[in-house]
Amino acid sequence: MEGSESLKIATWNINSVRHRIHLVTRFLRDEQPDVLCLQETKVLNELFPAEAFRKLGYVHQAIHGQKAYHGVAILAKKPFRESGVQDFCREGHARHMGVTLDNGVALHNFYVPAGGDIPDPAKNEKFAHKLHFLAEMEKFFAKRKKSDPAILVGDLNVAPLENDVWSHKQLLDIVSHTPVETKLLGAAQAALDWTDATRHFIPPYEKIYSWWSYRAADWEASDRGRRLDHVWTSPGLKGALTSQKIVKKMRGWQKASDHVPVVVELSV
């Protein structure tokens, strides 16, 4: 794109930013993204390790946290035009942060509720909460202009396609891959005609994951993963995607999160 600049964005459910600050430091030194979006930071805003990020050049910070649970943050090398939170979450959890980057691109960082273990909203309030959250995402983006440049990232806690899980057949009744969840996520994606950045580069017939359970004795050998972490781009950024990768090796780092980063590059 003529006159455009490269934009590198990483999204990662870090599963406690203070507990894994050494890992995020290593990742930022390795990858040098322009913007890092974190989920499940698990810390109040005033206790967020802001200085550690400033020392690495991420001086512009939009943080929405709470004690011990949830929490999202956007950390960037360049200033934001604005930042703010939308209330998708009926429980009042810290699960969204939005910013407008200096180039005018809107960036939304989400941590969708996991939904518990029972895929029945009548029996499981956590699952009902998740379905409500996904429906609110659709409503919100249905009101946005498709021509506006926007990026959605985060742990969406849904593996939508058959090859986003290790066994489509065995996981159809498992929360994160049930038909009701994948339908709602699909509706949210269709609301703004979002492009799934990972599947833009990797065809749907290939298996690809971003999460591996702590319960596996050997996560790499069993490779029973799910693709729960996503980057979407709006029609206003059509043709802007230049690369994507899921940094699988980081699942093997000492004291790793059960999620690994997704890194996308665009020309905007």
- On whether the pTM is more than 0.85, the answer is yes
- pLDDT bracket for residue 108 (50, 70, 90): very high
Answer for the pair 74, 99: CB distance below 8 angstroms, yes or no.
Answer: yes
Whether the pLDDT of residue 1 is over 60: the answer is no
Mean pLDDT of the chain: 97
Whether the pLDDT of residue 266 is over 70: the answer is yes
**Fold annotation for 6-267:** Deoxyribonuclease I; Chain A (3.60.10)
Domain spans in the chain, listed from the N-terminal domain onward: 6-267
- pLDDT bracket for residue 257 (50, 70, 90): very high
CA dihedral of residues 223, 227, 230, 234 (deg, nearest 10): 130
Burial code of 79-111, b = ≥16 C-beta within 10 A, e = fewer?
ebeebeeeebbeeebbbbbbbbbeeebbbbbbb
pLDDT tens for each residue of 86-101 = 988 889 999 999 999 9
pLDDT tens for each residue of 127-186 = 999 999 999 999 999 999 999 999 999 999 999 999 999 999 999 999 999 999 999 999
Q: What is the pLDDT of residue 2?
A: 56
